[in-house]
Chains A and B, each alone.
Chain A
Amino acid sequence: MDVFGVFAQFWPELLSGVGITIKLAGLGAIIAGFLAPLLALVRVNGGPAAQVPLRFYISFMRGTPLLAQMFLIYYGSGQFRPFLQDIGLWNFFREPFNCALLAFVMNSTAYQTEILRGGIMGVPHGEIEAGKAVGMSYVMSLRRVVYPHAYRIAWPALGNEIILLIKASALASVVTVFDLMGQTRAIFQKTFDFSVYIWAAVLYLCLTAAFVWIWRRFEHRLSPHIHGKRPSLLGAMTKRETA
């Protein structure tokens, strides 16, 4: 075992792996983050025709292993190859990165939808009525009243879900994506030096720790009335005392 030698030799590979991991988890979380608020609204207010398929979707996504979902998309698409070639989507499904990303988006959408549903249901009804009373339209009360409060409630749980997604992105290495886990496995197969796993563990811990820090910062920004002083992302540029 040569802990520092391994890093000195393979740091470019490891760092490029970190880049792919960030890209995979970040894109997955962001795309799911656009879909989830709409679906959560359907889960709260939708009629049964929209509710039933959505509940099945969410239950399926939460009740099956992500690895199986990824295999279903990556290998499963091969069964429909002629059809996918006809409609010009085969190039998309041929890339393991795209398939892994699609699986993460579909999976994370299900989890984020349920989290946001809880957030929306936690908004006190009086606030919505107050919005109506001052003449807000439905869309405006969503934008000004429901979503801001729902996100404040759901923020910590959303953070947990994204941490799970960062960790789950390691699965992409199984379908030959060279993310941090993929690079680590490749390096271990070359060197049989166990310390590369230690570096991978350190890098994953750094990734999640950095994410937790950023997420907390945003949480303070979202609800300054709860957290008191308002820390700025660029450091304490303005010093404002809250009464």
Chain B
Amino acid sequence: MLELFSFGEAGWGDQLLQGLLVTIQLALTALPVGLLLGFAAAGASLSPYRWLRAIGTGYTTIMRGLPELLTLFVVYNGLGLLLNSIVSSWNPDARVELSSFVAGVIALGLVFGAFAGEVLRGAFQSLNKGQMEAGKAVGMRPTQVFFRIMLPQVWRFALPGLGNLWINLLKDTALVSVIALDDLMRMTQVAVRSTKQPFTFFLAACLIYWALCVISEIVLARLEKRANRGVRRA
């Protein structure tokens, strides 16, 4: 049994490891994209302009209501078609292929951003207004107020929610195997096809994802502890 997972010619250990690296790369690339979109969405839905608020709430509401798999196909097929029509209007013979990694990053980032937008909006709304006024009163510039007073507390309020989203993101990366990115899930399927041991290998893949999630939870608990240092507990 164990030689199936050994490294080198005989086993599938190195292929699974390669897949795992792609999975981690994908999640770590989609995270900043999603966070940026999340901040933009939170800013938009808290803005004084009505049209901006409409865009912000429209994005978070619609994106949160769609299946992640549908979003992935919309990005992968839709963006591919769009890119091709743009390119062929310049040069009728040229064709571009949207890589499944890029499509995965965009789709997962869009989904993460929609949920993060709501988490961050809640965090911004639970800031104490008096503190911002106090910052202004002692002569801080708006950027100083943002980075010294608002952001550290938004981080503290939003961290539990963002942590959950990170774990969802990790698990959602498995979807990208459907559009043929060689992540952990797909490398497992490749191994299954040649060894005819589906249960063994899918169980192994599950255990690897599980380990990733448990490690994430430990790190997140530490981050939360650090973010809450100096805060009196109720």
Contacts and interface: CB of A to CB of B under 8 A. Distances in A.
B125 to A, nearest CB: 19
Given A65-B209, A76-B203, A197-B77, A204 B67 contact: yes
A68 B206 contact: yes
A67 B65 contact: no
Interface stretch (B88-96, B132-140, B152-160, B194-202): B194-202
A101 B163 CA distance: 28
- Interface size classification for chain A: 35 or more
A65 B172 contact: yes
A71 B202 contact: yes
A77 B197 CA distance: 10
Nearest to B172: A65
Interface in A147-199: 163, 167-171, 173-174, 181, 184-185, 188, 192, 194, 197
Contacts of A78: 198-199
A167 B73 CA distance: 14
Main secondary structure of the interface of B (DSSP, over half): helix
Nearest to A167: B67
Contact of B174 (A65, A188, A201): A65
Given A64-B210, A68-B209, A76-B199, A205 B70 contact: no
Contact of B178 (A62, A174, A197): A174
A78 B199 CA distance: 8
A225 B172 CA distance: 40
Interface string B55-97: 0000000100111111001100110010000000000000000
A220 B189 CA distance: 47
Interface string A197-225: 10011001100110000000000000000
A79 interface: yes
B171 A64 contact: yes
- Interface size classification for chain B: 35 or more
Contacts of A65: 171-175, 185, 209
B74 A60 contact: no
A66 interface: yes
Nearest to A193: B81
Interface in A51-97: 59-60, 62-69, 71-72, 75-80
B213 interface: yes
Contacts of A62: 213
A79 B213 contact: no
B192 interface: yes
Contacts of B185: 65, 67-68, 71
Find the residue from B167, B197, B210 having the highest chain A CB count within 10 A: B210
Interface string B163-201: 000010001111101100000010011001000111110
A60 B206 contact: yes
B4 interface: no
B54 interface: no
A88 B87 CA distance: 56
A173 B69 contact: yes
Nearest to A170: B67
A197 B78 contact: yes
User: Which 5 A-B pairs have CB atoms at the shortest separation, nearest pair first?
Assistant: A76-B199, A170-B67, A63-B213, A65-B174, A75-B198
Interface of B: 62, 65-70, 73-74, 77-78, 81, 167, 171-175, 177-178, 185, 188-189, 192, 196-200, 202-203, 205-206, 209-210, 213-214
26 contacts: A63-B214, A64-B209, A64-B210, A64-B213, A65-B172, A65-B173, A65-B175, A65-B185, A65-B209, A67-B177, A68-B174, A71-B185, A71-B198, A72-B206, A76-B199, A76-B203, A78-B199, A80-B199, A170-B67, A184-B73, A194-B77, A194-B78, A194-B81, A201-B66, A201-B74, A205-B65
Given A171-B175, A197-B74, 10 more contacts: A64-B206, A68-B206, A71-B198, A71-B202, A72-B202, A170-B69, A188-B73, A204-B65, A204-B66, A208-B65
